[in-house]
Amino acid sequence: MALFPAFAGVSEAADSGSSRKELDWLSNPSFCVGTIPPPSQQPEGAPGLVSEGSPLTRSPLKSESSDENDSNRKLKQTSRKKEKKKKKKRKHQHHKKTKRKHGQSSSSASEPDSDAERDRSSRSISKKESEKPNHENNAAADTGHRCVWLEDIQAVTGETFRTDKKPDPANWEYKSLYRGDIARYKRKGDSCLGINPKKQCISWEGAPTEKKNSHKHVERYFTKKNVGLMSIDGVAVSSKTEPPSSEPASFIPVKDSDDVAPSVTTWLNPLGIYDLSTTQWLQGQGPAEQDSKPPDSQPDRENAGLKAKVEEFNRKIRENPQDTQLWMAFVAFQDEVMRKPGLYAIDEGEQEKRKRSLKLILEKKLAILERAIESNQSSVDLKLAKLKLCMEFWEPATLVKEWQKLIFLHPNNTALWQKYLLFCQSQFSTFSVSKIHNLYGKCLSTLSSVKDGSILSHPVLPGTEEAMFALFLQQCHFLRQAGHSEKAISLFQAMIDFTFFQPDSVKDLPTKEQVEFFEPFWDSGEPRAGEKGARGWRAWMHQQERGGWIVVNPDEDDEEPEEDDQEIRDKTLPRWQIWLGAERSRDQRHWRPWCPDKSKKQTEEDCEDPERQVLFDDVGQSLIRLSSQDLRFQLVEAFLQFLGVPSGFVPPASCLYLAMDENNIFDPGLSEEKPLTCSTLSFSGVGRVGRMDRLGCQRWAQGHNREGEEFIRNVFHLVMPLFSGKEKSQLCFSWLRHETAKVIWCLHTKNKKKLKSQGKNCKKLAKNLLKEPENCSSLCLWKQYAHLEWLLGNTEDARQVFDTALSMAGARELKDAELCELSLLYAELEVELLSDLRGAAMSRAVHVLTRLTERSPYGPYTGQVLAVHILKARKAYERTLQDCLDESCVSDPVPTSSVNRLVSLAKCFMLFQYLTTGIDAAVRIYEQVFAKLKGSVSPAGSGLEHSGSPHGLASAMEAVTLMHTSLLRFHVKVSVYPLTPLREALSEALKWYPGNRVLWRSYVQIQSKSHSASKTRRFFDGITRSTKSLEPWLFAIEAEKMRKRLVETVQRVEGREIHATVPESGLTNRIKALFEHAIQSDSGSQCPLLWRMYLNFLVSLGNKERSKGVFYKALQNCPWAKVLYMDAVEYFPDEMQEFLDLMTEKELRVRLPVEELELLLED
């Protein structure tokens, strides 16, 4: 047979030998014409055909010597190893590669390798596979010694197979073959050959198309893809105007705004298919000028409007470049501009890219601000806006340098100093307590130099002294929250001596020189404010001029043994619990600075904890001069409030939220039991010194230990002689309230034994204060003493005290505000005793309010009140109230006495009308007063603006509003009355005073009884959008948490899950969203209380990982708050060592190091 079949005839036709040789290369003796029969039809002698004739030229193997076979085997083994390595490499590749074909190598050295590879890739038969029963034939025997191609063999048996003796242990372990050993194929279509499609069908299980459809995920509206679709501008559509049809339509047809009306058939347009422009062209006319442009689409109109606004801004800025508010408005306008594509974009892709580019918006704002600063070099607001914007671009070190440059240019700007301190205080990467403490000292000393006139280049701005006092309080609360309570107390002690006990010889000196004279007194070790035997800086200076103090040995009997508080009571507790207990115990006992006791011959080396000693360098820079008498009294009130005395002082708005770290603002106290008199105790959320309890621990009035209470008494004894008149009465009143708060705490905890002793001490203090000549006629002290007797359950004794005070006051009628307040409290306590209002008109409360209007002295209650006296009293109230309203509205600076008189009179008249006529009459009095004062007071948006100055028409409106809501709450409690008027009154009041926590507590309590929360949520949402106060966010979170607790109690009975009768979904996510929105605000991001609440809520859900993330996020904003670290130790005890190392690194106060804890546990 020829090698090429086309030349087969040529080779056979050749006769001559020479031509035969020439065409011999075309012959292929191994090629045979015809098909090979299947193995079943092959004759038995077929194997003999292989050996007959010439040897096989296609055989890949040749008979070689044993040495060659051995070397061949080694080469085969090495080639197999290489092939395995190649297969492993192929498995790790991510894309498919085509299999390389191995060709025959020309060199003899590579021939065995190529032969071995071909032997593995093709189907071959080994020696044992090729041996047959018929051994007579030499060809068959020869075949057994060699491997041949399976296609070339004429097998005798029906099936040819090979035996694989290598075991596969995976067959014992798995239920099926390895998927790589199973042939894979792709099915084209769902039909099958050989079936009748009309009668038969095949159901393919696990079809790939069905799998794809079943696994296709339905995308929700909040996915990334759909959020992008939602941001694309929609196409405007409009409904078709068609005549109404009698048949109901299945849908409302709409058309695009670009659709044009059908053309009218004319002689030029007989079919009505030409549009208006074509018809005009046929007529030889051009379109009108206004019609030549295509109709504007909605995006074009919006872009035109935006361009017009931009042009208007540019025109105004060119005309008035010094208008900083206009520049700020233009910067804020960029957010609206960048929401719309196409204004500054080139094509569609660029539109979408720029539309979603936050960096582009920031860069454009930054460019505008830089232009604005060029035109207004002295504008601080523009520079602050630029720094706030650059926080997204610059590193913290660069930002600090820019802040320092700005402070250097404006050292007299107190608002700038306050923002700079907040910025440095909240930078976690560069924060340390000593660094921020020194920065506060530098700030106050610089402002003092500006105030004294030492810095001639910058004048004193108005309000500098008040701002310096606010910064001083902010520094004290910063030290308290960082755990350095000794330094905070020392700052107050130094300010008390520096302000009230200044020697006459240094009063005219600048502040810096006064501080230099103060240093020797501080370093002398003399007792300071609050310590036993403190006499003040002035007395020490005079005595030094005379030769020093005469040391008197104290009586040993007066010294009481110190309480030995055992820090570790149970060593079997976990390590983190032992540390938390011991740390809090030391915080409670060691908040006062340590000074060596000279009577006991102590020295500085005797102090076990050097951190308890406060040097002059820690307080010297922060000393400021307060010339205003009002600020001096506020300093004393702030010190008392810092110690935990309810003096009524609220920190300024600039540092209020920074100081808030306790959740007692949500504590209703006794408001549910006594809604009329509960407002006497209100909590600001500011923690007191020595307390770092866990969140929710109700110890708001437990008091300090024995040494702490003695310290507070010493402070009162030191500062009370410094004041006179109403200020001294106010201090006495605060002292008595402090002791009364302990009585209320005993009532709250139902500790009868402690209540008896505490009540006895409190009454003793009240009597001693009233015995003093200046206090015997103080009605506020008499009122507090009578209230104390009432709380102790001595109702008759309290009535006697009230009657005595009213008789002593004489016939002052309605002109005295203190007398009105005394009568009001007396009447309110009597009203709260009534079970219902049927006999209210003849009660003792009406008698008290009626005798208040009479000119005759007060007489005791005889059991009835004449109707004539009630009518006369009503007329007197109406006339006096009208006179007070006219007086307050006429005079521009309203006197404080007039405001107090108006508030007291309105409250008494409202209660009088409620008892004699009804709730509607009391509401009418409130509406009359509110309408009269509303015209002269605009809504402040926050009650914080009035916290620093409680006297004013705004505070009068707020007090009258509180009385109105208290009356409504009491009326709802004692009678059948709808809640709607109370809800409306609270809602309207909170719109005016969104910072009033008493109103918020009442609102949340009332709304928690409602089944529907939608109205409450809408109200909270509206308030949070319209005010910058943090109270709406805090109470919105508390309202949702109360609802969540209510749902959980309904769904669980005795620890078992039951069917949800009140289906409520999404509460957890809603609370998380409220927290996230609250911490994004300026005041919320740096409020430790908000972060503590957020962390506590997430831990209660059991999500430890996310809780840990929130903790570290809180540290980025409030790295100074030690309570956050202590909460983290409680929530994540495994990382206690990490948290303690972090506290040590940031220089927070750690009173019990881990090394000391280990030693205590070993003892």
pLDDT in tens, 1138-1158: 999 999 999 999 998 888 888
Does the pLDDT at position 945 exceed 50? no
pLDDT surpasses 50 at 557? no
Under 8 Å between Cβ of 591 and 708? yes
Higher confidence at residue 449 or residue 886? 449
Biggest distance spanned by C-alpha atoms of the chain: 166
Task: Please state, in angstroms and rounded to a whole number, the distance separating the CA atoms of residues 345 and 69.
Answer: 77
Quick one: tokens of 639?
């010190």
What's the chain's average pLDDT? Answer: 77
pLDDT at 1073 over 80: yes
Out of 221-235, 823-837, 868-882, the most confident range is: 868-882
Q: How far apart are CA 91 and CA 116, in angstroms?
A: 23
CA neighbor of 732 nearest in space, from 808, 783, 688, 681: 783
Report whether pLDDT(136) > 90: no
Residue 54, pLDDT above cutoff 80: no
* pTM, 2 dp: 0.72
Work out the average pLDDT over 1093-1117.
91
Ranking 127-141, 574-588, 1098-1112 by mean pLDDT, the lowest is 127-141
Burial pattern 114-140, b for ≥16 Cβ within 10 A else e, equals bbbbebeeeebbeeeebeeeeeebeeb
Residue 378, pLDDT score: 82
DSSP per-residue codes, 1131-1161: H-GGGHHHHHHHHHHTT---SS-HHHHHHHH
pLDDT for the residue 287: 60
Looking at residue 995, what DSSP letter applies? T
- pLDDT tens per residue, range 332-342: 888 777 665 54
- Residue 469 — very low, low, confident or very high, per pLDDT cuts 50/70/90? very high
**Residue 783 or residue 348, greater confidence:** 783
Residue of 358 and 46 predicted with greater confidence = 358
User: What value does the CA radius of gyration of the chain take, rounded to a whole number of Å?
Assistant: 47
For 936, half-sphere exposure in the C-beta direction (CA atoms, 13 angstrom radius) is: 20
Looking up tokens 């020479």 gives 18
3-state secondary structure of 917: coil
**pLDDT (tens digit, 9 = 90+) per residue, 652-692?**
888 889 988 888 888 776 666 677 777 555 567 888 888 88
Count of other CB atoms within 10 angstroms of residue 307: 12
User: What confidence tier does 696 reach under pLDDT thresholds 50, 70, 90?
Assistant: confident
pLDDT over 90 (residue 470): yes
- The pLDDT assigned to 230 comes to 67
